[in-house]
Structure 1
Amino acid sequence: MWLKRYLDLSAERPLWAHLADTILATNTPSSEKNIPSTIRINCYLQSWKTTMTTRSNQPPDLLRMIKVGQKYGLRMEGISFERAILREMPIWHHAQADSKIRRLTGSKASKCLQNKHNLTTVGGAEDLAAALITIEGRLNTHTSNDSCKCGGCTELRQNTGCEHPHTCMLLAQELLDTLPEKWDPRAEQPEDQEYNLDNLQKEKDEEIFNYHLTTAGNISDIFRVFTDLDHKPTNKAPTRLVKITNPRELSIVATDGSCVDNGQDTAIAGAGVFFGINDPRNQSIRVPTKTPEGILLTQSNQTAELLAAKITSEMIEKESPY
């Protein structure tokens, strides 16, 4: 429960969790001493490590909390995340960034970003680097030097005291470029093709299936427990082959799974796919004991239901691959 409260990064986060951030950021091994303490925000969101030895000054309660997370496979995991979450992530020593991001914290420009621009998040870096983007058909008054007199550079000088805004913009862009596409808010993300389900009117007793791949909410929602720590999640952003503009045009297929002696060694599971009365695509399938790759399958209701959904999606993809 302590760990869950600690990872509540919303506005309701308890005061002790903010204090824990400071303590964990202060008690670090010697390998992390070159990282300014001001940019050590959260050891779960960034790549720096906190001290884990009992001989350190780490409070026993916090040490136990971190070890509980390790024991139960706590980490950031998900197929994709909405941009609001990606923009909330710390930019300095971002946990999923290329390791070269560690070399981008000691320059004069990085000190300016940290101390004058107060840059802490991915969203802040994206906003700062936006002036470097040239959009076809739109006038960009920014010039590629620190003497630029465009409105953005002038405002930065006045508000932050920055003497080299263009250089700082370039570094912000370089920081962003260390992010894999799954964690880069500038990249195309699955949410770009996901229809807003709130706009659909439900029929009586109808429940809309949420097909979204994207984790929504806030930065607290990216954490998972009981993950397979031997498996490294991909950092490639998944793409949808089909842009769904009207979910009402989708095929309606009933799928289900059932199991005799569910939960027992004698369990036998089966799956069903129903497109319609007398439709030749209707199927009933016995759940195999293992996949073609040799992975053992548990005979259960859940396995059967997943198999039915998998077979259905494969059939529809063959019919309309694009």
Structure 2
Amino acid sequence: RKYGLRMEGISFERAILREMPIWHHAQADPKIRRLTNSRASKCLQTKHNLTTVGDAEDLAAVLPVVIIRGSDYCECQDCTELRQDVKCEHPHSCMLRAQELLDTLPEKWDPRAEQPEDHEYDLDNLQKERDEENFNYHLSTTGNISDVFRIFTDPNHKPVNKVPTRKVATTNPRELSVVATDGSCIDNGQDTAIAGAGVFFGMSDPKNQSIKIPKTSGSTALIQSNQTAELLATKVASE
């Protein structure tokens, strides 16, 4: 708390969501505490060795098939295997409890929900032309559970647990607009620095722009530098 350490990000890939601990999930609805002391919960912990969100998702995934057949006395293959493999006496109840645990998660932290990852192309598989680099537009944090932690966060800013919308209308990534952006600065690093930016969609394209970086934006002073100009060019191009 002293250094503002907490989990934060716009969105996370499912591999990370599935790594999260299910019993003490920091983002779960507080009612999850009422679900931890039942017979089914004890069985999940001691016999199923269920510890992560991924474990709960895998067990609950069988439920749509089992629920058709009925109860803890179901003799379907899934229930029979659970009785034999983990000595579970009430597999149907355990599956239901796993689903209830998952239902306490906000959609941003629920691997069953639609995530921005579903609409983000694999940049490594996109064709590159000459020396161009593919802009990484991904919103999702990748890696493992350690990558969701941020330090020196703003204690007055409450993290948002809604999933941001990220759908690309086209089905072909090469149909996306190709735009060149750049920024430059005269006397970079000096008090006399003057920066500018350019956005180029193509010859005679009306969306082309040349931009002089203003000294201020509202009440905020803008640093005249290459970096400021490049960021502004990217912002304008994306709009």
TM-score per shorter chain, which class?
Answer: 0.7 to 0.9
8 Å contact kept, 2:67–2:92: no
Find out whether 1:216 has 2:142 as its counterpart. Answer: yes
8 Å contact kept, 2:116–2:167: no
Unaligned runs of 5+ in 1: 1-69, 135-139, 315-322
Q: Deviations over 1:16-69 (max 9, x none)?
A: xxxxxxxxxxxxxxxxxxxxxxxxxxxxxxxxxxxxxxxxxxxxxxxxxxxxxx
1:28 maps to none
Cα distance in 1, alignment partners of residues 202 and 109 from structure 2: 41
Runs of 4+ in 1 over 6 A off after TM superposition: none
Query: Secondary structure of 1:304's match?
Result: helix
Query: Secondary structure of 2:69's match?
Result: coil
TM-score (normalised: structure 2): 0.88
Query: Secondary structure of 1:271's match?
Result: strand
What's the RMSD between the two structures over aligned residues? 2.4
1:254 maps to 180
State the structure with bigger RCO (CA 8 A, min sep 6), 1 or 2: 2
- Which structure shows the higher strand fraction? 2
Find out whether 1:115 has 2:115 as its counterpart. Answer: no
Find out whether 1:155 has 2:81 as its counterpart. Answer: yes
**Higher mean displacement: 277-286 or 256-265:** 256-265
Cα distance in 1, alignment partners of residues 229 and 168 from structure 2: 26
Query: Secondary structure of 1:133's match?
Result: helix
Find out whether 1:304 has 2:235 as its counterpart. Answer: no
The residue type equivalent to 1:143 in the other structure is R
Query: Secondary structure of 2:154's match?
Result: coil
Cα distance in 2, alignment partners of residues 158 and 75 from structure 1: 41
> Number of residues paired by the alignment?
239
Select 2:199's aligned residue among 256, 268, 273: 273
Query: Secondary structure of 2:197's match?
Result: strand
- Residue 224 of structure 1 and its aligned partner are, at CA, apart by 2.4
Cα distance in 1, alignment partners of residues 235 and 132 from structure 2: 23
Unaligned runs of 5+ in 2: none
Cα distance in 2, alignment partners of residues 310 and 214 from structure 1: 19
Cα distance in 2, alignment partners of residues 76 and 124 from structure 1: 21
- Residue 266 of structure 1 and its aligned partner are, at CA, apart by 5.7
- Residue 268 of structure 1 and its aligned partner are, at CA, apart by 4.3
- Residue 187 of structure 1 and its aligned partner are, at CA, apart by 0.3
TM-score (normalised: structure 1): 0.67
Find out whether 1:96 has 2:27 as its counterpart. Answer: yes
Instruction: Assess, with a 3 A threshold, how the Cα gap between structure 1 residues 247 and 117 changes in structure 2: closer, same or farther.
Output: same
Cα distance in 2, alignment partners of residues 261 and 225 from structure 1: 34
The residue type equivalent to 1:109 in the other structure is A
Find out whether 1:81 has 2:81 as its counterpart. Answer: no
Q: Deviations over 1:183-231 (max 9, x none)?
A: 1000001111111222223333232222222222222222223332322
Query: Secondary structure of 2:157's match?
Result: coil
